[in-house]
Amino acid sequence: MTMRRSAKPAPTALDVFWACCEARAHLYAVGELELNDAVCVLQERAVRHGLVAEIGPDAVQAIIVEAFHRVCARKLATMIA
């Protein structure tokens, strides 16, 4: 008897964008990227993949801010502890 895996839905453009934001935030937090370099690439990606048109520029910027806030807050918490 063969077990079948349930098919997972493909990630949306928004899912991928969140992952990219978190990845670049981690690179910034460890000093591999300057903040401006990290954010500019994300903004360009959002435009190129239609997210700015789909959810608006304010929502795109809010996602970037939230991702960087989460990552940097965790890093700061581990530095203080």
- Print the SS3 string covering 42-71: HHHHHHHCCHHHHHCHHHHHHHHHHHHHHH
Dihedrals phi, psi of 56, to nearest 5 degrees? 95, 155
pTM above 0.85, yes or no: no
- Among residues 12, 2, 17, 26, which one has the least CA distance to residue 64? 17
Per-residue pLDDT tens listing for the chain (81 residues): 566 677 889 999 999 999 999 999 999 999 999 999 999 999 999 999 999 999 999 999 999 999 999 998 887 777 676
Q: Using alpha carbons, list the distances in angstroms from residue 79 to 24, 28, 29, 32.
A: 19, 15, 12, 18
Identity at 24, one-letter amino acid code:
R
